[in-house]
A and B are shown apart, each in its own frame.
Chain A
């Protein structure tokens, strides 16, 4: 029996995560806990109940149907007791307004491929393809293999968008199937990396080297520019130096944004990052210029 994959979103006509027109498949499960994460529903594998209060009309259908009695009405809005909720989805299935929804579903590689292949003509025309993202898609490399094989057979190029914090074997397994890795290097400071994300920079850089050694052209270093993490000239310079040392020529600078804030609210969570204002692409211009002077190909935004 084929292993299933925890999918929380499939975005067609994705044009900012790799070259050309792509389909981006987002998988759940991430080894890091970046507080600026824009996809909080992606971090842990499993169903999430998301509540959109704007759509709720207070009809009480959810209260009636919840087997855990985890929903009540307060001030004409549904109120969810997240402690009692087992994410069975009964309320989401019943809600006439679609104010409650379940994020995350298990799909087979075949099911995912059936969607991906529908845009094959667009990929071909634009050098696009499939981007596997997350969460951390490489955590699921074994279950992904049938999908990678199908893509290869149909000449659909595959990119991975990765935080790099995965076992080296996962990288090695993915390498022959992968056109490009959009590889996050969030900081060159191991202590800061640990403090902000809970992860080991050493592991990330080791994986980066494995790919660079195999073929540095497969790499695009992606730098989320985050206030207090790396939003200084010295810190960005240190990241660019990592790329230069490994012969990587392409760097994407991604300005910090707060568009994920509402998702935290929908999950009943507090937004964990103190900075509440997005960075404009213009603020990254000097970093881009710096990178270009060093001979790198730098873009701002994906």
Chain B
């Protein structure tokens, strides 16, 4: 069994969490109760144990209603509890050990006996935390590390990220309708504990609605009579909860309330196609005069704030637009209001996602570009014309089913209501290349990470094909590990939990009478995040070009320079940097990037199918892991230095693209989307450039999408960032600004030019906004 640190941080946590509302002692008692119940029900049915544990934390962990909230539902998380993802709480029956330690430190102030009580919990959970159980089984000393241990070329975890539930089923049936559905099935299988536990979960929904209603009424009672507006809002919240506790929602407010409450209980942090789900309720209320446009705006803004306040950093997906909506007209009205909210709020979450088709109207395009132009960075744009057929192929479903694709997290696609798609594996293609080139030893820590693969002597390799084949052999080994570790994550989770709330709203759990990972979910899919893709392909190109085509250096010479982090080898590094690089619309480097992409993406997909998944696809996503993993990835033949960040998502290494936006977009659009389940493409404009040329930029994007571009993440930066870029140029390697007769990367300009540009960019902005 591999050694690993159970207290290591389990996920990227950029946004600061809001502290728990409950006093420390009460928190401790809840965790003790949870632990006792877990112990008591261990040995019997997983479903039963799960629901008994859920009863411990719900509804007690609901926080009070904030003044700006128009619907109720905010949750606290303790270091011990139940959940689906690492971003809020943990996975299954979880203990977040580093947070429990921090809690222990804090509570010691109340007396040593409390610290001892925490210690008892800590020791119990060492043997019961789901993720720890998975890690003990799957991690190895040198090849598979824990999330997020960047010493390893591959990291694995157990989690259930990105669940997108069938909310229409919830809204159309209500709690009582779902109950009737399950009871009917239960009649046929009276001993089915999944059904029994699911019914108890529905009771938790009702109890939570009641508890929140109490909160609304008591908070209302504390307000002065003169606060008519807020009292009315709280009354509306209380009335809504009184209705949706069992019944189907009648209004937009009630639909939003039920959906939100259920999402919280289910522990999901991505919300799906809210335009289509909520649009009909919204329109009915707008048309009948129950709601004004302004009130609808305030509701959506309130939702935005509540999503933001959950602080999941990389989740909170709300998706609008695209193919396959049941109520496109109603959905579009939601979409337009949401666009306004997005433009005004400029929050990091929700990750507001717009699916585009050839039929997307001009108004939607305009609203999207307006929001991007003020620096919202949302909506993030997905191209259905490419993605729907790609998903159909990649996930092996028909096109109608493929229209259910929704991006979650950093970009991973999942079929809402029908598939799992959690990325439980991350793999570092560049680190694997560096290990391969150094006879199996990771230059970063001196460990052999070849597994059973035989090391290759670089001096004896005589062709690029031979060199590449050796790399592929090691990649194959790591891809085998990836598929096995992903598949096993489902196995381990299923041995311990049922994910009841998720199961109820996922096809075909109720139909089959089986929990999600117990044969319930229609499509058991998964994703594998790949990192360093472009550094690896640019490195391959540099090896091909310098060693085998130009014969300028031998492989050992190149490897020697790399192992010295190019120190004293400036000329070799410059030659490496001068090799063609991906992102410049060059068939050479782009071709290599595509070749490596297809090898890895097909390799992962084929292995997923073989092992028994509906799909297992790579995602090329975008978060800070490219930087963190880069810190522990040695220098590479593309000229990248040891410890330097790796390329972000599917983009070139920062500063490597020198041909402007069309060249970049041409490179980005070369990949065949059917082999991945999401690939992030970034582009960055200066504020004046973007806002001064919106019509052209819209056409630029449209051509890119027509060429096969699957996605676009647009950043528009403001003047403050230009100023910051002068102080911290390393942070802005690809910020494009318009100079005069030419455009330039801002940080490459001379200081005087930068200052000149700064001095006049205000004019540009005034002109833009006039």
Q: Which residues of A contact B (CB under 8 A)?
A: 9, 11-17, 20-21, 24, 38-39, 54, 59, 61, 94-96, 98, 118-119, 121-122, 125-126, 133, 257-262, 278, 280-282, 302
Contacts and interface: CB of A to CB of B under 8 A. Distances in A.
A62 B25 CA distance: 71
A15 B756 contact: no
Contacts of B740: 38, 257, 259-260
B738 A16 contact: yes
B767 interface: yes
B661 A13 contact: yes
A122 B705 CA distance: 11
A96 B699 contact: no
B741 A17 contact: yes
A9 B742 contact: yes
Given A278-B756, A281-B763, A282-B763, A259 B739 contact: yes
Contacts, number: 85
Contacts of A126: 696, 699-700
Nearest to B572: A96
B756 A259 contact: yes
A98 B693 contact: no
B663 interface: yes
A262 B752 contact: yes
B693 A15 contact: yes
Contacts of B699: 20-21, 122, 125-126
Contact of B753 (A20, A95, A259, A282): A259
A261 B750 CA distance: 10
B439 interface: no
Contacts of A13: 660-663, 700, 743
B767 A281 contact: yes
B701 to A, nearest CB: 10
Given A15-B696, A261-B752, A262-B753, A278 B662 contact: no
B702 A125 contact: yes
Nearest to A277: B756
Contacts of A258: 756
B491 interface: no
A296 B756 CA distance: 31
Given A13-B660, A21-B696, A278-B756, A122 B703 contact: yes
B576 to A, nearest CB: 11
B571 interface: yes
Interface of B: 570-571, 573-574, 585, 659-663, 666, 693, 696, 699-700, 702-703, 706-707, 738-743, 750-753, 756, 760, 763, 767
A262 B703 contact: no
Nearest to A20: B696
Contacts of A39: 741
A125 B196 CA distance: 60
Contacts of B750: 54, 262
Chain B at the A interface: mostly helix, strand, loop or mixed?
helix
B753 A11 contact: no
Contact of A118 (B666, B739, B743, B752): B666
Nearest to B757: A259
A121 B706 CA distance: 9
Given A122-B662, A280-B760, A11 B743 contact: yes
Contacts of B696: 15, 20-21, 126
B743 A98 contact: no
A262 B742 CA distance: 14
Contacts of A94: 571
A121 B669 CA distance: 13
A126 B703 CA distance: 10
A118 B570 CA distance: 34
Nearest to A23: B662
A16 B696 CA distance: 11
B666 A96 contact: no
Contacts of B662: 12-13, 21, 118-119, 122
B53 to A, nearest CB: 57
A11 B660 contact: yes
A11 B745 CA distance: 13
Given A15-B693, A39-B741, A54-B751, 7 more contacts: A12-B662, A24-B741, A54-B750, A96-B570, A98-B574, A257-B740, A260-B740
B743 A96 contact: no
B660 A12 contact: yes
18 contacts: A11-B660, A13-B661, A13-B663, A15-B696, A21-B699, A38-B741, A39-B741, A59-B570, A96-B573, A118-B585, A121-B707, A122-B662, A122-B703, A125-B699, A126-B699, A262-B750, A278-B760, A282-B763
Report which residue of B662, B693, B706 has the largest number of chain A beta carbons within 10 angstroms of its beta carbon.
Answer: B662
A115 B693 CA distance: 23
> Which 4 pairs across A and B sit closest by C-beta, in order of nearness?
A96-B570, A13-B660, A12-B660, A262-B750
Given A96-B571, A259-B753, A11 B742 contact: yes
A96 B566 CA distance: 11
B663 A118 contact: yes
Report which residue of A125, A259, A262 has the largest number of chain B beta carbons within 10 angstroms of its beta carbon.
Answer: A259
A16 B763 CA distance: 17
A96 B574 contact: yes
A187 B706 CA distance: 45
A280 B767 CA distance: 12
B433 to A, nearest CB: 24
Contacts of A281: 763, 767
Report which residue of A9, A20, A118 has the largest number of chain B beta carbons within 10 angstroms of its beta carbon.
Answer: A118
Report which residue of B660, B738, B741, B756 has the largest number of chain A beta carbons within 10 angstroms of its beta carbon.
Answer: B741
A133 to B, nearest CB: 8
Nearest to A265: B750
A227 B73 CA distance: 65
A280 B753 contact: no
A198 to B, nearest CB: 21
Nearest to A128: B696
B606 to A, nearest CB: 33
A211 B73 CA distance: 72
A38 to B, nearest CB: 6
Contacts of B663: 12-13, 118-119
Contacts of A20: 696, 699
A12 B574 contact: no
Contacts of B666: 118-119
A282 B699 CA distance: 28
A166 B135 CA distance: 76
Contacts of B743: 11, 13-14
Nearest to A281: B763
Contacts of B753: 259, 262
Contacts of A24: 741
A134 to B, nearest CB: 11
Contacts of A14: 742-743
A12 B659 contact: yes
Nearest to B742: A11
Nearest to B702: A125
A261 to B, nearest CB: 7
A39 B739 CA distance: 13
A59 B743 CA distance: 30
A96 B660 CA distance: 24
A270 to B, nearest CB: 15
Contacts of A280: 760, 763
B684 to A, nearest CB: 13
Contacts of B738: 16
Nearest to A11: B742
